[in-house]
A and B are shown apart, each in its own frame.
Chain A
Amino acid sequence: MSLLTVKENISMVNNGNTDIVSAVQSNSNVVFDTKDLNLWYGETHALKDINLTINEKEVTAIIGPSGCGKSTYLKTLNRMVELVPTVRTTGEITYKGKSILDKSSKVEELRTHVGMVFQKPNPFPKSIYDNIAYGPRIHGIRNKKILDEIVEKSLRGAYIWDEVKDRLKENAYGLSGGQQQRLCIARTLAIEPDVILMDEPTSALDPKSTLKIEDLVQELKKDYSIIIVTHNMQQAARISDRTAFFLNGEVVEFDVTDTIFTKPTDNRTEDYISGRFG
């Protein structure tokens, strides 16, 4: 299956900012390619002619004022947006070359490859162990030993193993908000996705927990492509390679993060970044 291209160790072309411009043109592997995407909630035109190309193993930040469509776009990438019954889309999104919006593609399969971390930490009211094992289990992995291994690996991957290893059987609701969010990230890692979508993952957290998540994102970038919606422009500047600025359902500007924050080409981007609105 083409979706499952074995992950080669692609050299990190865009590790340093200097190479990035060339990386834009270079055929560094594209994960998501969005062409002329339009989306309506009932009568509301929420996304207008979106064209975006998202590269593999980068952190792509999406910024913009509330209601600009950034979360909607993110949720279109794993089709979570379809949970709203009145939603309607036109245009095309391909994931690794395969179109995802048509009905024939299986949404469950897409979501196995494109994990998601939500705005508010949302662990299940189950034990820490069962939270992590949830994904593997629904995908048919039942072997206790393998599950144990997956749980440990995922928790280590989200840098929370040391904090919870002695209480794996305890309810996840006993964890702090920041820990819960890292648990949710670990839960996503457990099904080994290629892409992790993050919908304002730190908006409900205190500064210390926020920093931990940001560090984690930097680590995860080595293995995953990350798309993060954030309200916090400093956060976008700190952790992302590329930034898209959304306004009123349109992409105003999409470029290397440095460029966006230092010499944006569009006035509206500059206005937003300098805090004139939003």
Chain B
Amino acid sequence: MAANSKLERDHEIDVKQMIEKNKQSKSFSQVVEKIVPIMLFLFAIITVLTTVGIVMTLLSETIEFFKRVPIWDFFTGTVLKPMSQNPEFGVLPLINGTIISSLIAMLVAGPIGLMAAIYLSEYASDRVRKVLKPMLEILAGIPTIVYGFFAFTFVTPVIRSIWPDVEATNILSPGIVMGIMIIPMIASLSEDAMSSVPNSIRDGALGLGATRLETTFKVVMPAALSGIIASFVLGISRAIGETMIVTIASGSSKNFTFDITQSMQTMTAYIVEVSGGEAAAGTTIYYSLYAVAMTLFVFTLLMNLLARYVSRKFREEY
């Protein structure tokens, strides 16, 4: 320490004075200090404006639509013939197609996703989980258009070779592929819910001689139930909003049917079909786009709110 020269303050530069001098020219930075929060606030407002924009555009054009087509006819009509001479605008075929495709997707994604979650959370070693989880996430990162291609050019032909009644465009194939797409989402959210169940609870059951399986079903899953349900609801919401897979692989028949071998149109696919050029602004078809989009928006919003409600309301306190 003695080697160090003493702190000398008299000669050399006077930092203090320099700082003070700069203070006087600091009005600029003071302005910055005031402006920055205002600017950032305006940025934050853009997200609110987006929501307002979505709701306002959907709402105003939907109201315009209901001036032309009675709201009752829209929601109870089973016939959708927008291009016909005497057009009919019943939304039920689209809602039907949406629900059926989402149901098929959930029949695939629900059990498989949940089982994968159980494996990852309860059985897999840390090392195995560290390998498998990111790989499942790749599945979630594949663009939906790629799944659409896969459904149309691979899954449908495979199904048709087993079950020849299935048409070239049908709701079954995109439903299954949508399910595969949703697996990682359900697996990951359910796994989060299950692994946040504290080990002490698990150990309690295991210590009584219960097997892993019994512990999982009787202790862990009941404790994580709200998270698991929330993941399912979010999965359904995702399926309802999914567009490209059904647009490509399910065709555009507006059948009101429960026959999964047939082509059906979902709300999303209808939006793609109608907005894809044919409908000039101001026509009833054009406005129907917004009415359908509004219905879709409300459906998914309700699902998302439900998911949040479930995971909040039934959150276990440990």
| Contact string against A for B residues 183-199, beta-carbon threshold 8 Å, 1 for contact and 0 otherwise | 00000000000000000
Tell me the chain B residues, 1-30 only, with Cβ under 8 Å from chain A: 1, 3-5, 7-9, 12-13, 15-16, 18-20, 22-23, 25-26
- A118 contact set on B, CB distance < 8 A: none
Interface of A is mostly: helix
A192 on interface, CB distance cutoff 8 Å: yes
- The segment out of A32-40, A88-96, A134-142, A236-244 that lies at the interface is A134-142
Q: In the bound complex, what is the Cα–Cα distance between A159 and B3 (angstroms)?
A: 9
How many A residues touch the partner, as a band?
A: 20 to 34
Assess the A190–B15 pair: CB atoms within 8 A.
Answer: yes
Cβ of A189: which chain B residues have Cβ within 8 Å of it? 7
Asked whether B4 lies within 8 Å of A192 as measured between CB atoms, the reply is: no
Assembly CA distance A146 to B22 (angstroms): 14
Chain A residue at minimum C-beta to C-beta distance from B17: A4
Number of interface residues of B (CB under 8 A): 18
Indicate if the CB atoms of B5 and A191 lie closer than 8 Å.
no
B219-238: CB near A (< 8 Å → 1, else 0) gives 00000000000000000000
How near does chain B come to A5, taking the closest CB pair, in angstroms? 11
Complex interface: chain A residues within 8 A of B8 (CB):
153
Task: Give Cα A191 to B5, complex, Å.
Answer: 19
- Residue A112 at the B interface, CB < 8 A? yes
Q: B22 — which chain A residues lie within 8 A by C-beta?
A: 139-141
Q: Mark A180-193, 1 if CB is under 8 A from B, else 0.
A: 00000000011110
Contacting residues, chain A, for B5 (C-beta < 8 A): 156
Of residues 138 through 173 on chain A, the ones whose CB sits less than 8 Å from some CB of chain B are: 139-141, 146, 149-150, 153, 156-157, 159, 161-162
Cβ-defined contact, B16 with A4, below 8 A: yes
Please state if B4 and A4 are interface contacts (CB–CB under 8 Å): no
B25 lies within 8 A of A136 (CB): no
A255 within 8 Å of B by Cβ?
no
Q: List, in ascending order, chain A residues with CB within 8 A of B23's CB.
A: 109, 139
Instruction: Flag if A161 contacts B4 (CB, 8 Å).
Output: yes
Given contact pairs A139-B22, A150-B13, A161-B4, a sample of 17 additional A-B residue pairs in the complex whose CB atoms are under 8 Å apart: A4-B16, A136-B15, A136-B18, A139-B18, A139-B19, A139-B23, A140-B18, A141-B18, A141-B22, A150-B15, A156-B5, A159-B1, A189-B7, A191-B19, A192-B15, A192-B16, A215-B1
- CB-CB nearest 9 A-B residue pairs: A140-B22, A139-B19, A157-B7, A192-B15, A192-B16, A159-B4, A159-B1, A141-B18, A156-B4
Would you give 28 A-B contacts (Cβ < 8 Å), ordered by A? A4-B16, A112-B19, A136-B15, A136-B18, A139-B18, A139-B19, A139-B22, A139-B23, A140-B26, A141-B15, A141-B19, A146-B13, A146-B18, A149-B12, A149-B13, A150-B15, A153-B8, A156-B5, A159-B1, A162-B4, A189-B7, A192-B9, A192-B15, A192-B16, A215-B1, A220-B7, A222-B7, A223-B7
